[in-house]
Structure 1
Amino acid sequence: MLTASPDTFAALARSSPWRWSTLRFTVSWPGDPWQTTPVRAWLRRPDALRVEALDGELLQAGRASRSRVALLSPGGGRTVTEPWPSDPGAPAPTWRPDGLVAERPQGLSLDDPMYQNYFWVAVLDPAELADPGLDADPGEPALLLDAVTEVEHAGRPAWEAVVRTTPAYEPRCGCCPLLRSREVDLAEYDGDAAHLLAVYPDAFRVRLDVQTGVCVLTEAIGGEVAGRGHDLRIEAVDEPMADDLFAEPRRGLFGRRGRSGPPQPGLA
């Protein structure tokens, strides 16, 4: 039984890659002028994703490629393929006594398949809420939070915290962080005033689903973008998902998006 606390909240945020294998969910972006269409998604780790509009229009389906990284040495360079956490022999995390992750291993491909941008990836694996960036001062946390509250989100147990970012907060991608801060925007846009807010949020309401570690809600509190964030509602965890669900559709002459067929048994 997990006990809600700031320390356990951080551990849960870094544990998602090892807490579920498939996820069916809907997500919307309240108050966001650029993300106006709620979607439903089926995701099967490590590489398969299907996204539909709520009316069944197919928006994306397919399989992601493995991550490849370049390693440089005095004798030259080479490219290696990083393993997924589920691969045999993949590096394992350091576990806490409560079953959450104390430290994530290096050299793994941890990003889930992307839809549109890295905000999607960060929601599913919200490690940026757990640990400071590599350039942070020793002991400086990524977030400041006073208390963690047990709540329900879409009928599921969740933990909620009101958090404030510190200069050590380092999002997965600076252009689409889970929590927007002046420090992140200055670093991402090199101080370009056109990309800065006049008034930044005072804090953020954040919720993590207890079973999966997925970030199911963010909400800016105060500032120019008050109320903006996301709302993810989990419909099923670890249900079977067949390969056909993720087959890329054949597009017609004009590349029109298709609509999904009747739900398949065990998939909807």
Structure 2
Amino acid sequence: MWQTYSWVAMLDPEELSHHVSVSGLREDTVAGRPVWRALLEAQPGYARCGGNCCELLYSEASLLREYADDLSRTPEDLQGRVYPDGYDVALDVQTGVVVRCLPVGVDGRAPWLEVDTHAVDADLDHVF
């Protein structure tokens, strides 16, 4: 883990396989590498652990998974937040790693992720 759990989720995006609607699936490239790209929207039940702390898709669905049984327990700093309509997500075809996770339909305050893959299976003895 580096700074946030988002890096863990980026490397193992299993959470995107359930309780997520997928639309606009397409092939694309990011940093010269082939990716599968789509608009993803979190649905009820979505969350890696709940509470908007480590999910790739920062969403109300994740918050509700943690606090729906008693909304009064919702931490004050999470109350009244505006969430993105969805995320433009790009998955590197070769590695399966999420290389882009960009919020859609919000003014930029939502978390985002961008990673460029420079090499895969490279001989690291000759890189440095």
Name the residue aligned to 1:212. Answer: 95
Matched, 1:128 2:6: no
Q: Structure 1 residues 170, 119: CA separation in 2 closer, same or farther (over 3 Å shift)?
A: same
C-alpha distance in 2 between matches for 1:207 and 1:222: 17
Instruction: Give the structure with higher Rg (CA).
Output: 1
Q: Structure 1 or 2: larger helix share?
A: 2
Name the residue aligned to 2:70. Answer: none
Name the residue aligned to 2:29. Answer: 152
How many residue pairs get matched?
122
Gaps of 5+ in 2: 68-72
Q: Structure 1 residues 211, 154: CA separation in 2 closer, same or farther (over 3 Å shift)?
A: same
Name the residue aligned to 1:195. Answer: 78
Superposed counterparts of 1:104-123, under 5 Å: 114-123=1-10
Name the residue aligned to 1:19. Answer: none
C-alpha distance in 1 between matches for 2:109 and 2:4: 22
C-alpha distance in 2 between matches for 1:240 and 1:148: 33
Q: Structure 1 residues 267, 188: CA separation in 2 closer, same or farther (over 3 Å shift)?
A: farther
Residue 223 of structure 1 deviates from its aligned partner by 2.9
Q: Structure 1 residues 227, 191: CA separation in 2 closer, same or farther (over 3 Å shift)?
A: closer
Q: Compute the RMSD of aligned alpha carbons.
A: 2.2
Name the residue aligned to 1:168. Answer: 45
Gaps of 5+ in 1: 1-113, 132-141, 242-264
Residue type of the partner of 1:178? Answer: L
Name the residue aligned to 1:266. Answer: 126
Q: Structure 1 residues 172, 234: CA separation in 2 closer, same or farther (over 3 Å shift)?
A: farther
Residue 172 of structure 1 deviates from its aligned partner by 5.1
* TM-score computed with the length of structure 1 as normaliser: 0.41
C-alpha distance in 2 between matches for 1:177 and 1:225: 17
The share of aligned pairs that are identical, in percent, is 38
